[in-house]
């Protein structure tokens, strides 16, 4: 999608610090980390947010979670949090579906 930051990162038009890539998914370090481990996992295909997950793209979302489990296992991360801010009030600043993976410190609950 034109003018989408994460579409441009997925296409390699904007550089990122890559953690994992396959034909459907890219994982890269967050530019403003909120924990010692903080990376984002995105579908290469543009999906607006969690609110746009449907029966058609659900297998891709399932694949993203498989990738998160694989990366964390490979990096020896046993405890982590997966977050996807959806919409203005939840603080979504990039309108391309992404899952934050946070680890490496105690994470408060409930979140702010």
Site residues (vs ligand AMP, CB under 6 A): 5, 16, 28, 30-32, 85, 91-94
Of 5 and 59, CB closest to ligand AMP? 5
Nearest C-alpha neighbor of 103 from the set 12, 33, 49, 35: 35
Please report how close the Cβ of residue 52 comes to Zn ion at its closest, in angstroms: 11
Nearest C-alpha neighbor of 37 from the set 84, 65, 71, 3: 71
Of 16 and 72, CB closest to Zn ion? 16
Nearest C-alpha neighbor of 52 from the set 23, 26, 86: 86
The edge-to-edge listing of strands for the beta sheet with 99-103 is: 18-21, 25-29, 37-43, 99-103, 81-83
- Per-residue binding string, Zn ion, 28-67, x by CB under 5 A, is ------------------x---------------------
Active site annotation includes 98: yes
Radius of gyration over alpha carbons of the chain, in Å? 14
| Residue of 38, 46, 96, 98 with catalytic role | 98
Binding residues for Zn ion, per CB under 5 A? 1, 4, 6-7, 46, 96
């Amino acid at each position: 999608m034109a003018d989408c930051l994460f579409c441009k990162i997925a296409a390699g038009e904007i550089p990122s610090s890559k953690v994992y890539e396959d034909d459907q998914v890219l994982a890269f370090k967050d530019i403003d980390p909120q924990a010692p481990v903080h990376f984002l996992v995105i579908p290469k295909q543009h999906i607006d947010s969690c609110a746009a997950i449907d029966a058609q793209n659900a297998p891709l979302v399932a694949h993203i979670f498989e990738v998160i489990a694989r990366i964390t296992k490979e990096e020896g991360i046993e405890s982590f949090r997966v977050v996807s801010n959806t919409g203005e009030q939840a603080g979504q600043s990039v309108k391309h579906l992404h899952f934050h993976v946070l680890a490496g410190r105690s994470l408060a609950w409930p979140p702010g």
